[in-house]
């Protein structure tokens, strides 16, 4: 499969032009006017119900003075094209590139420096979209916050839903309690606000790097360089000197006051529910950087394929590598859309009794989001819900094949979790037991080939 990204290409608009030329059937261009109030989400959701997941490009959005591109990550095939591999090789390609950490190259200026506004900013000029009727307000879903450790300078990048609070302030949530939250606590201990930059729109591989699962102190901007195949070109923000992509579409710069609280949410989250669970943080914006003719790069919210894939691919890649290194019997791993971030299917060829349970315990322990893991045999296609459910129906005995663990930390956005964020986790062993009785019904390859010939002309 040809690699869609050019070796030195680092901006979204170049990627989009190249992709439209290379894969025109995988891009839906909407040239008629649409509303910024839910129309874009509705189009993508309707396509998804038809089993279609194209990159969607809206040329005219009412109330927004720029085109909108969204649904970029809804297709695994499209993500694989970023790496020049087939879908089966995506996990390995991601892991290999993400390990090749490259220090960013600081540039004097870049496209994001075309227009710089400092001091008296007005965020009401930002392109904002309302994604769901139940959302509190229009939201920035592609808000990548970058902060730098005050002592080491090591950066942290992560996604945080964000809404306009005032002409100079953004309400956001750090509910994942990840490394950015850790940096905010450090700022609180020192009695200082935390400088941050919010990147709204950049190359898809930069966006994927913001979802990377790395230890505290590992800079995702270095990961972005590895994914891109060249050091990330960055410029410094005017107020706090935070390194941001030189070719970003829009960048907001400011500070988060650890003591300030504002109302934020509800917002349509990956669970498919509108969540008002929030840390209610306030970002005071001090400068705006933007390209002369930017594109709003949106991420479809809710339990959309894009929202799930963007966070899922790095998690899957890490878990596949860990599992196969520890358990060579593992043949495949898949996080299905139907399970949001809470389900995983793992296929393995058991070498000894109980190994499926050991593998499931490994997954449930390593991935804090997972609540349910189903283990199946290698001949079950873990990318198809119906195949896994068939295995569960025909191989699984509830009295024998369930393991449950209680009282573990879970996702703060899980509506079924306790108020303190704990959850239980379950493994379902749907592999064939030693006393299993049955021979799987099969059709010969000769008959299948004949069927393909008959149907090819029809």
On whether both 152 and 273 belong to a single domain, the answer is yes
276: in domain: yes
For residues 352 and 267, state if they share a domain: no
In a domain, 396, yes or no: yes
Residue in the block written with tokens 């939201």: 139
Residue 58 falls within a domain, yes or no?
no
Q: What is the reported pLDDT for 419? A: 63
Residue 21 lies in a domain: no
List CB contacts of 450: < 8 A, sequence separation 6 or more: none
Q: Looking at the structure, do residues 117 and 257 belong to the same domain, yes or no?
A: yes
Same domain, 259 and 394: no
Q: What pLDDT was estimated at residue 6?
A: 56
Structure tokens at 48: 């998804």
347-391 pLDDT, tens per residue?
Answer: 999 988 999 999 999 999 998 889 999 999 999 999 999 999 999
CATH number for the domain that contains residue 331: 3.40.1670.10
| pLDDT tens digits along 23-58 | 999 999 999 999 999 999 999 999 999 999 999 999
Same structural domain for residues 116 and 258?
Answer: yes
Q: Residue 147 maps to which CATH number? A: 2.30.110.10
Token couple for 393: 């129906």
Residue 414 lies in a domain: yes
Tell me how far the alpha carbon of residue 191 is from its chain's centroid.
32
Same domain, residue pair 151 and 246: yes
| 57 in any annotated domain | no
Same domain? For 261 and 338 the reply is no
What's the pLDDT at 107?
96
Tell me: do 227 and 373 sit in the same domain. no
Is the domain of 333 the same as that of 287?
A: no
Whether the bond into 266 is cis, omega within 30 of 0: yes
408 strand-pairing partners: 423
Same domain, 227 and 334: no
The domain in which residue 194 lies consists of 92-299
Q: How many CB atoms lie within 10 A of CB 32?
A: 7
Give pLDDT tens digits along the chain (458 positions).
Answer: 545 555 568 999 999 999 999 999 999 999 999 999 999 999 999 999 999 999 999 999 998 999 999 999 999 999 999 999 999 999 999 999 999 999 999 999 999 999 999 988 999 989 999 999 999 999 999 999 999 999 999 999 999 999 999 999 999 999 777 899 999 999 999 999 999 999 999 999 999 999 998 989 899 999 999 999 999 999 999 999 999 999 999 999 999 999 999 999 899 888 888 888 888 999 999 999 999 999 999 999 888 899 999 999 999 999 999 999 999 999 999 999 898 889 999 999 998 899 999 999 999 999 888 999 999 999 999 999 999 999 999 999 999 999 999 988 888 788 887 666 788 999 999 999 888 888 888 999 999 999 999 998 77
Last-in-domain residue among 281, 299, 317: 299
Q: Are 130 and 38 in contact (CB under 8 A)?
A: yes
Is 54 domain-assigned?
no
The reply to whether 101 falls in a domain is: yes
Residues 282, 389 within the same domain = no
Q: For the chain, how many structural domains are there in total? A: 2
**Whole-number Å distance between alpha carbons of 223 and 225:** 5
- Residue 458 CB neighbours (<10 A): 4
- pLDDT the model gives residue 439: 87
Residue pair 4/14 in contact by the 8 Å Cβ criterion = no
- 286 and 390 share a domain? no
d(CA 46, CA 37): 16
């Amino acid at each position: 499969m040809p690699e869609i990204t050019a070796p030195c290409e680092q901006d979204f608009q170049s990627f989009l032009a190249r992709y439209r030329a290379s894969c025109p059937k995988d891009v839906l261009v909407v040239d008629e006017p649409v509303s910024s109030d839910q129309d874009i989400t509705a189009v993508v959701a309707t396509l998804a119900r038809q089993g279609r997941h194209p990159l969607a490009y809206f040329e005219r959005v009412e109330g927004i003075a720029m085109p909108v591109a969204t649904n970029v990550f809804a297709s695994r095939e499209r993500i694989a094209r970023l790496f020049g591999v087939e879908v089966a090789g995506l996990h390995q390609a991601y892991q290999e590139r993400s390990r090749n950490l490259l220090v960013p190259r600081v540039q004097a200026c870049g496209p994001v420096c075309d227009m710089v506004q400092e001091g008296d900013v007005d965020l009401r000029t930002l392109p904002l979209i309302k994604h769901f009727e139940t959302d509190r307000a229009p939201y920035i879903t592609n808000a990548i916050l970058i902060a730098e450790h005050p002592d080491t300078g090591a950066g942290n990048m992560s996604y945080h839903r964000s809404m306009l609070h005032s002409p100079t302030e953004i309400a956001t949530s750090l509910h994942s309690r990840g490394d950015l939250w850790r940096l905010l606590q450090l700022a609180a201990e020192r009695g200082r606000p935390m400088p941050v930059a919010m990147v709204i729109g950049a190359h898809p591989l930069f966006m994927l790097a913001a979802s990377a699962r790395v230890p505290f102190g590992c800079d995702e901007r270095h990961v972005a360089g590895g994914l891109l195949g060249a050091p990330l070109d960055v410029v410094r923000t005017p107020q706090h000197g935070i390194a941001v992509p030189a070719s970003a579409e829009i960048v907001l710069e400011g500070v988060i006051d650890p003591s300030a609280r504002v109302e934020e949410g509800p917002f349509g989250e990956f669970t498919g529910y509108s969540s008002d669970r929030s840390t209610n943080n306030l970002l005071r914006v001090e400068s705006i950087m933007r390209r002369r003719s930017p594109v709003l790069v949106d991420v479809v919210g809710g339990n959309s394929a894009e929202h799930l894939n963007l966070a899922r691919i790095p998690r899957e890649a890490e878990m596949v590598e860990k599992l196969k290194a520890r358990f060579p019997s593992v043949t495949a791993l898949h996080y299905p859309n139907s399970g949001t971030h809470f389900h995983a299917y793992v296929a393995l060829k058991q070498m000894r009794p109980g190994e499926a349970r050991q593998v499931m315990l490994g997954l449930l322990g390593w991935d804090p989001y997972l609540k349910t893991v189903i283990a199946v045999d290698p001949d079950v296609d873990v990318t198809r819900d119906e195949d896994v459910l068939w295995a569960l129906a025909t191989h699984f005995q509830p009295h024998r094949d369930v393991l449950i663990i209680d009282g573990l930390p879970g996702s703060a956005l899980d509506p079924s979790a306790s108020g303190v964020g704990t959850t239980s986790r379950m493994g379902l062993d749907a592999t064939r037991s030693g006393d299993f009785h049955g021979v799987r019904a099969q059709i010969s390859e000769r008959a299948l080939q004949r069927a393909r010939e008959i149907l090819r002309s029809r």
